[in-house]
């Protein structure tokens, strides 16, 4: 059977992997939001150009700009959600790490007590075989 510290250590490793997944997703959502924001800026810059197709198809450019703005807001919201998930995983990891450290200290303390008890028993047992006079 695995000791508490081993199980907690494995759980801590899983928590770290989950945190990394949420951090990666957060970065991905931010990258998509930045890309959408750049697309909006490019569309508005193109609409200001007198020689662009935006003069012929203004509705298409406005619709594309609205769509890009909606994507930007959607990805920013997803990034906020992932940031909250990262914070939650960080808190969970800290709690598991504290529990792991406590379990490790408890196991070390028990091992030391066992060694002391064995030393005392050896000393007492040695005295029983060769009684002192």
Listing DSSP states for 88-106 in one string gives: HHHHHHHHHHHHHHHHHHH
Q: Is residue 69 part of a domain?
A: yes
Q: Is residue 119 part of a domain?
A: no
* Residue pLDDT tens, the chain, 133 long: 468 889 999 999 999 999 999 999 999 999 999 999 999 999 888 887 888 777 778 888 889 999 999 999 999 999 999 999 999 999 999 999 999 999 999 999 999 999 999 888 888 877 655 555 5
Please tell me the distance from the alpha carbon of residue 104 to that of residue 108, in angstroms, as a whole number.
Answer: 6
Read off the tokens for 70: 């909606």
If one counts the domains in the chain, the total is 1
Three-state secondary structure string covering 65-91: HHHHHHHHHHHHHHHHHHHHHHHHHHH
> What pTM, to 2 d.p., does this model score?
0.74
Q: Is residue 97 part of a domain?
A: yes
Q: Is residue 123 part of a domain?
A: no
State which residues form the domain around 27: 4-102
């Amino acid at each position: 059977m695995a000791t508490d510290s081993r199980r907690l250590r494995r759980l801590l490793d899983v928590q770290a992997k989950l945190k990394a997944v949420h951090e990666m997703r957060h970065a991905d959502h931010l990258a998509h939001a930045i890309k959408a924001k750049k697309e909006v800026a490019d569309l508005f810059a193109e609409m200001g150009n007198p020689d662009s197709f935006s003069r012929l198809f203004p509705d298409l450019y406005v619709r594309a700009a609205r769509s890009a703005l909606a994507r930007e807001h959607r990805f920013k919201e997803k990034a906020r959600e992932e940031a909250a998930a990262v914070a939650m995983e960080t808190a969970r990891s800290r709690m598991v790490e504290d529990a792991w450290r406590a379990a490790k200290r408890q196991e070390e303390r028990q091992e030391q007590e066992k060694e002391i008890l064995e030393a005392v028993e050896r000393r007492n047992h040695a005295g029983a075989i060769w009684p002192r006079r």
